[in-house]
Structure 1
Amino acid sequence: MKHILQFVLLIILSLNCLSQPTPPENHTGAITGTVTTSDGKPAQDVSVHIKTKAALTDDKGQFTFSHLAPGTYELNISLVGHAPVHQQVTVEENKTTTLSLRLQVSEQQLDEVTVTTGHNKFNKKETDDVARMPLKNIENPQVYSVVTKEIMREQVITDYNSIFKNVPGAGVPLVYNQGRSSLLARGFTTANLIRNSISGFVYTNIDPANLERLEAIKGPSGTLFNSSMISFGGLFNRVTKKPLETSRTEISYTGASFDLNRLTFDVNRPLNDAKTVLFRVNGALHTENSFQDAGFTRNLLLAPSFVFKANDRLTFLLDIEASTFNATSPIRFTPAKSGKVTNIRDLGMDYKRSFTNNTLDYTTRQLNVFGQINYQLSSIWKSQTNYTRTFSTTEGYVSQLIGKSDSTLQQSVQKENFPYNGTEIQQNFIGDMHIAGLRNRIVIGLDYYNQKSDRTTPTINMPVINFRHPGAAYNNFNTSKVDSLAASAVYSIYKTNQNTYGAYVSDVLNITPQLNIMLSLRADRFEDKGTYYPASDSTAGAFTQNALSPKLGIVYEVVKDKISLFGNYMNGFSNTGGTDFNGVSFKPQQANQWETGIKLDVFNHRLSSTISYYNIDVSNVTRDDPDHAGYSIQDGTQLSKGIETEIIANPFAGFNLVAGYTYNDSKFTKANKTVQGLRPAAAGPANLLNIWASYHLMNGKAKGLGFGLGANYGSSSFQTNTTTQVFTIPSYTVLDATIFYDQPGYRLGIKVDNLTNEKYWSFRLAPQNPTRISASISLKL
């Protein structure tokens, strides 16, 4: 630890020295300038060139070249797909020449552009979503990661879950019966329920074709987000593609192992000459088979979006996703409690047997409607109204495998009809003002959320079979057998209805230009109207709860816009129903996190890094009442602490690197005797590592040719970890590689996933894909 602190201090002192102004040299001059977009916004991270020197514009669109010999220089800005900017500049001795440059691209278009100079294209962490206000990463006390569309394109991403290979600490995806998934965040299972910063609650698979970026926001963020949509470890926010002011079309096809065929399209059009009405539609047609003896996925996505700019102050956005998935259930295996084998690798199950049948499939449908109204009330205040309506349903067969011994299992299936409906309305007022000479960035919000479900499900259990030598019994798990048993099965039929009312405020106060404090508070009222059972015309489990969720953050920029030290206290909660033996209603579970660390954005944005240590204490956890059988008490606690690191680097033109390492130490500190002091099985591996490095040629005849190599490592973990049973999942190391050729009019790519054919499993003991080869072609029209 001493050496780490010395190293960090050395970096700070060195960069602080670099940031000090250098006395002007005799007989030299300078060029300084500001670059703006066609709509008058600062053009950030644009590369400006003169001779052998290059500079990136900052968040104000400004750049500087100093210590230049007197003479005439040609200044260049080159953007793929757009007209370059050239301007001759004369430098005089001991004088500074000031320029103003305007690009022929809008702010939205600029975000779509790949700059030809090979800058740090993976370093796009500036987002308004984390704090719900304009706040740069370097001045934000919260830790988050952003997976950009550039990484997704480079890695030939064809499924949503593969994106998480780039998120520090996410682990192997946990895929549920309906195709929905969750991953890890700081030792807590975290679902994918947030879209465009509010509810995107759909219990189905997610197609990545409409995804602009993925934001992994860390910690119990209950203050600014609906706590029923997140975990104590954080949340994953899917940000969708929005209409642009330029006409463009991209069509892509990918073919891969396991009979994968995927066609996607992205069409953007302004619908009038004034470019005040914009339209964009993304879509995907996807089909693939499992690497196992049975299993398939077929899906169709259509995602139109519209923008209407009523005037300079008022803008409307409508964003829709509609999809249908037809698939077989992902593998889900629960080992036998009486078994003596304690490791999935030693169990002897055939990696390529599914123990299911393609007739046992399901169909999911989802509709996700998102609307947003932005109105500039004044130079200080902006109003943002968000509305979302979600629908998802599962119809068909979802299955699981239940271990009965070290050599036998039972196939079980539910015949589901399970629709979900969700509605969220959110109103934010966002301000930026000076009070008593101090800058305040404020968001004040109100939020209403409703979720309903309606379930009709029988469960059918098949006869036990030997999974090592199943014989003819292997073929009995099919719709004919299941339907015949379903006639006598007991149906589970019920309805649920939940409401959440929230109000929140957050203020970022700049004490000095380099020191800011964030103060936030949320108040929630949760109403669970209970589970309604039509058979008995009765409702059970209804309850209401109130909760307060505070947040405090502090940031000191040691070197302005380059190095910051930060700390935060954050709170999240989870509503808990029921009562104890004495009839006292349970309180919400609470998670309290404190965290401290350092953020870097140095060397002209070529190096961005976050290093932090966090500690999350969970209280009000229910556990078995030792004095009253069948009841629970609410004095349980859990601790999750660890280290997170992320590095995004561009050490030289054309080479880009993203890497992350997380260490998580989780344990039940007060719980049932069977798990007291043990690591929760759902916490996943204690050590997780991700890295992706790529290089593309910047000049010559092979310009645009690139290569990429990545790795993911996870230490061993548990499927079950109690005093009576331990079942482990082995560690894994997965290597991926790609080669691509990117040109203004087309792109070719070849990707190999799992180069070494590693066998590894998810928390649900689902075998993951062996080596897969994908080839893609994209036409940019």
Structure 2
Amino acid sequence: MKTIFTFLSLFLISLVSFAQQNGSVSGDVNARDGSPAAYVAVGVKGHQAGTLTNEKGAYHINKLKPGTYTLVVSAVNLTPEEKQVVIKPGENTVVNFTLNINTSQLQEVVINGRQNKVKVDNPSPSLRLQEPLLEAPQNIQVVTSQSLAEQQVISMSDGVIRNVSGAIRQEHWADLYANITMRGSQIQAFRNGFNVVNSYWGPLTEDASFVDHIEFVKGPAGFMLANGDPSGLYNVVTKKPTGQEKGEFTLTGGSYGLYRATLDLDGKLSKDGKLLYRLNLAGQNKGSFRANEYNDRYSIAPVISYQVDDQTKLTVEYTLQHAKMSDVGSYYVFGTGGYATLPANFTMSPPGLAPTVINDHSLFVNLQHQLNSHWKLTAQAAYFNYGQQGSDMWPSAVNPDGTILRAISIWDAKSTMALGQAFLNGDVTTGQVHHRILGGIDIGNKKYDADWSQGHELDTAGALFNTKLPVYGPPVNGYPVWDRSQNIEARSALGGGHIEQQYTGIYVQDELGFLNNKVRLTLAGRYTYVQQSEWGGSPYNAKRVTPRIGLSVSVDDQTSVYGLRDEAFIPQSGRVAVGTVKPITGNNTEFGIKRDWMDGRWNTTLSVYRIIKNNELTADPNASPNSGLSVILGQKRSQGIEFDLRGEIVNGLNLTANYAYTDSKVTKVTPGVPDINVGDVVPGFAKHVVNTWLSYRLQQGPLKGVGANAGFTAYLKRATDTWSDTDVRLPNYFKVDAGLFWEGSKMRIAANCFNVLNKYLYSGSYYSYLNAFYWQAEAPRNYRLSIAYKW
């Protein structure tokens, strides 16, 4: 690793040595009403240089060689604005624009020329920051829609995490739940700024058809989003109307019976462009390399936005995801002789088990009102309704001779969430100090009911399932017949499977900018009150004030350094045999450096952090995962280093690369908790995580548009997914994916090969109460081919 860091350092220093005496251009972009056009794109015609305006409508493009250029700003329903500029050596030229449109009508601004495909300069409005990522005192990484398309990602559980340093998955459960771990803990799942976690297992993975991009926020973010975990979160940003009349239809086929079709329609419902729509549809049949396993899904995601007036915009969004899949336990394999002692395609699942059926509904309403050129009010609400009828196969006994007593339990669940947010963004100046002000309130009501109380053994004592000589067919003891005569709420109450939570959070933040906003001091605080009950227990109340202080300094226009001290407070649910469940508390201390390279075409972020977490629940090492039993860890410390690189290195060559070193250990143990000691490694992470994804497309000649991509993922020194009393650790993990594609103005054809080296890849752990290992294998070498047509 020292060699790698030395090489990277020399490489970056060598790029700086090529700097020349260039010039620059800057200015302001305003709407016709005089208000600033924030976060719009300004490009140089026929040149790769380009940028986005900041919240004041200002832009600055550096490192232009002396000469004459044409600046271009264009927007939907607007004739492109062009102005010539003469760049002189070592000088800055000022060029201002006034667009013939109101600020609230700026649906999308594009540059005449290529846009960066994998690098994003600004966060989505749902993160509430109102500042470029380069200036934010936090490590935030964005996975773009182009990256998702190139890697043929079809859901949140399908390789997304390779694009972010240190992110891994544990307890895969295939395409049911993402369960992403980062910085030593499972991070929170958000959608459009709402925390959509209502139990340890959820939410259902989002289908990629309605996903625009994904933001990974590292470290606590309670000042931005409700109930932030000290380790971070990911925020799925869904597709919204742009005002452009366009569409895209994609067909995908692949190994193991994958057939998939998606449709993306974007346009206007009124001639004046005030009423817009976006509709995304997807349907798929998906088999598996294991027998008797499938995951069929469809999704419907319509969005409507209405420009009420020049200052007010209303957006309504509904999403239905329907899944019909095999029993979730089919992904697990058990044995007593160690990991991977059976073939990769081995299964314990019999044919004929009833499917798990899920219907996941969500509704978002967002209202944005520009009070004036300095203040903006956003109010939004969301409602989620998740219903599941299914089962989970799990062994009652695993024997050294290879025989297993398979059992199956009912797993019906219902989740409802009603969430609301309102926040105010301000941009004011007092004397020589620039203020970016954020204040708001978050409220939520979450309920989760589950029935695990009914069980059925598929085998009998005299006719166990033999992994050495498996016989597949109807189970000896027959299929289970579940009693669903009562509703899920009643069955949940009887079985202790009820969780309920109400919370309110109030927060305020002021980012004070000094020295022409080159030095930015962030002071923030959040008050959170929560009432919660879980697993049939009595409700409890908790409240806490969590402060935040951050400092970000712009060394130059392309480089910033930051420091951050933040605290977190998050409710959690669980059932414990020892102690009382309390909310997680913790803090994060972090330092980092961010830099844009080559006129902002690519970016690097290097950060170091130390996180302390108290009261966190972790799976009980002496109980089945289906039992829902946890233990209170006490305190753990996670610390590490993260490096991310993303962007266009040269014309047509895009690179995403990252590395993370993570060290997570127990520092305190709750009295009475067995089998966990101070100094133990916390399970669920890899000490070293390395990812790359390289894509190159020919820019000219008869093969223009033809390209290739490839990447690898490596997990080194993996810890197991649960606590165990065995010293056997998971082996290192190395996976290579690659592909070929052709992209024209209307069509894209892509073929990808996954697990090119055809390795036996898996995750797993050791369950003490079974005296057995379990593992979940990934697919051997497999392929996908997709054809997309745009209009």
TM class by shorter chain equals 0.7 to 0.9
List per-residue Cα deviations over 1:200-252 (Å, max 9, x = no partner).
3464342111000011111133343332xx54321111000001111111111
CA distance in 1: counterparts of 2:533 and 2:131, whole angstroms: 38
CA distance in 2: counterparts of 1:270 and 1:88, whole angstroms: 30
Question: What's the counterpart of residue 767 of structure 1?
Answer: 777
Matched position secondary structure for 2:310: coil
Matched position secondary structure for 1:469: coil
2:296 aligned with 1:301: no
Q: Which amino acid aligns with 1:144?
A: I
Question: Which piece of structure 1 moves more, 450-459 or 421-430?
Answer: 450-459
2:182 aligned with 1:181: no
Q: Which amino acid aligns with 2:508?
A: V
CA distance in 2: counterparts of 1:74 and 1:142, whole angstroms: 35
Question: What's the counterpart of residue 519 of structure 2?
Answer: 515
Kept in 2, the 8 Å contact 1:244–1:270? The answer is no
CA distance in 2: counterparts of 1:285 and 1:462, whole angstroms: 33
2:526 aligned with 1:528: no
2:345 aligned with 1:351: yes
CA distance in 1: counterparts of 2:749 and 2:263, whole angstroms: 16
Question: Which piece of structure 1 moves more, 755-764 or 706-715?
Answer: 755-764
Question: What's the counterpart of residue 536 of structure 1?
Answer: none
CA distance in 2: counterparts of 1:31 and 1:221, whole angstroms: 35
2:412 aligned with 1:417: yes
How far 1:710 moved relative to its partner? 1.0
List per-residue Cα deviations over 1:73-121 (Å, max 9, x = no partner).
674869999999697959699999865678999854336x7x744x642
Distance 1:524 1:86, change over 3 A: closer
Q: 1:331-342, aligned counterparts within 5 Å?
A: 331-333=330-332, 339=336, 341=337
Question: What's the counterpart of residue 139 of structure 2?
Answer: 143
Q: Which amino acid aligns with 1:124?
A: V
List per-residue Cα deviations over 1:684-731 (Å, max 9, x = no partner).
211111110111111223222221111111124233665732443222
Distance 1:498 1:42, change over 3 A: closer
2:358 aligned with 1:364: yes
How far 1:667 moved relative to its partner? 1.1
Question: What's the counterpart of residue 458 of structure 2?
Answer: 462
List per-residue Cα deviations over 1:488-524 (Å, max 9, x = no partner).
x997365432211111112111133211111121111
Output the TM-score relative to the length of structure 1. Answer: 0.85
How far 1:289 moved relative to its partner? 0.5
CA distance in 1: counterparts of 2:210 and 2:194, whole angstroms: 17
Question: What's the counterpart of residue 779 of structure 1?
Answer: 789
Kept in 1, the 8 Å contact 2:64–2:87? The answer is no
Question: What's the counterpart of residue 702 of structure 2?
Answer: 701
CA distance in 2: counterparts of 1:604 and 1:284, whole angstroms: 38
Counterpart among 358, 371, 393 of residue 399 in structure 1: 393
Distance 1:315 1:460, change over 3 A: same
How far 1:171 moved relative to its partner? 1.9
How far 1:525 moved relative to its partner? 1.2
CA distance in 2: counterparts of 1:101 and 1:379, whole angstroms: 17
Q: Which amino acid aligns with 2:590?
A: E
Distance 1:635 1:250, change over 3 A: closer
CA distance in 1: counterparts of 2:424 and 2:476, whole angstroms: 55
Distance 1:103 1:153, change over 3 A: farther
CA distance in 2: counterparts of 1:93 and 1:678, whole angstroms: 61
How far 1:304 moved relative to its partner? 0.3
Q: Which amino acid aligns with 2:735?
A: V
CA distance in 1: counterparts of 2:636 and 2:674, whole angstroms: 14
How far 1:174 moved relative to its partner? 3.5
List per-residue Cα deviations over 1:133-184 (Å, max 9, x = no partner).
2121121111121100011111222232122221221224533488122111
Question: What's the counterpart of residue 628 of structure 1?
Answer: none
2:558 aligned with 1:555: no
CA distance in 2: counterparts of 1:92 and 1:136, whole angstroms: 25
Q: Which amino acid aligns with 2:467?
A: R
2:592 aligned with 1:565: no
Matched position secondary structure for 1:153: helix
How far 1:563 moved relative to its partner? 1.0
How far 1:577 moved relative to its partner? 7.9
How far 1:319 moved relative to its partner? 1.1
2:447 aligned with 1:452: yes
2:200 aligned with 1:199: no
Question: What's the counterpart of residue 772 of structure 2?
Answer: none
Matched position secondary structure for 1:160: coil
Question: What's the counterpart of residue 187 of structure 2?
Answer: 190
Question: What's the counterpart of residue 674 of structure 1?
Answer: 675
Output the TM-score relative to the length of structure 2. Answer: 0.84
Question: What's the counterpart of residue 601 of structure 1?
Answer: 596
Kept in 2, the 8 Å contact 1:506–1:518? The answer is yes
Q: Which amino acid aligns with 1:510?
A: G
Counterpart among 244, 248, 251 of residue 250 in structure 1: 248
How far 1:55 moved relative to its partner? 2.8
How far 1:554 moved relative to its partner? 0.9
Question: What's the counterpart of residue 221 of structure 1?
Answer: 221
Matched position secondary structure for 1:482: coil
Matched position secondary structure for 1:475: coil
Counterpart among 163, 166, 179 of residue 163 in structure 2: 166
CA distance in 2: counterparts of 1:151 and 1:98, whole angstroms: 35
CA distance in 2: counterparts of 1:276 and 1:80, whole angstroms: 15
Question: What's the counterpart of residue 615 of structure 1?
Answer: 610
Question: What's the counterpart of residue 233 of structure 1?
Answer: 231
Q: Which runs of 5 or more structure 2 residues have no equivalent in the other structure?
A: 486-490, 620-628, 766-774
CA distance in 2: counterparts of 1:618 and 1:92, whole angstroms: 53
Distance 1:220 1:683, change over 3 A: farther
List per-residue Cα deviations over 1:397-442 (Å, max 9, x = no partner).
2323466234233323222331110010111111111234311111
How far 1:743 moved relative to its partner? 1.5
Q: Which amino acid aligns with 1:520?
A: A
Kept in 2, the 8 Å contact 1:682–1:763? The answer is no
Matched position secondary structure for 2:762: coil
CA distance in 1: counterparts of 2:83 and 2:125, whole angstroms: 40
Kept in 2, the 8 Å contact 1:460–1:485? The answer is no
Question: What's the counterpart of residue 589 of structure 1?
Answer: 584
CA distance in 2: counterparts of 1:93 and 1:604, whole angstroms: 17
CA distance in 1: counterparts of 2:720 and 2:397, whole angstroms: 13
CA distance in 1: counterparts of 2:445 and 2:210, whole angstroms: 25
Kept in 2, the 8 Å contact 1:401–1:410? The answer is yes
CA distance in 1: counterparts of 2:123 and 2:81, whole angstroms: 30
Matched position secondary structure for 2:712: strand
CA distance in 2: counterparts of 1:692 and 1:453, whole angstroms: 38
Question: Which piece of structure 1 moves more, 258-267 or 155-164?
Answer: 155-164
Kept in 1, the 8 Å contact 2:170–2:721? The answer is no
Q: Which amino acid aligns with 1:771?
A: R
How far 1:578 moved relative to its partner? 10
2:384 aligned with 1:385: no
Q: Which amino acid aligns with 2:785?
A: A
Counterpart among 503, 518, 524 of residue 506 in structure 2: 503
How far 1:779 moved relative to its partner? 1.3
2:748 aligned with 1:752: no
How far 1:661 moved relative to its partner? 0.5
Q: Which runs of 5 or more structure 1 residues have no equivalent in the other structure?
A: 25-29, 533-539, 625-630
Question: Which piece of structure 1 moves more, 166-175 or 736-745?
Answer: 166-175
| % identical equivalent positions | 21
Q: Which amino acid aligns with 2:282?
A: A
Kept in 1, the 8 Å contact 2:215–2:235? The answer is yes
Aligned length: 742
Kept in 2, the 8 Å contact 1:543–1:577? The answer is no
Q: Which amino acid aligns with 1:699?
A: Q
Question: What's the counterpart of residue 109 of structure 1?
Answer: 108
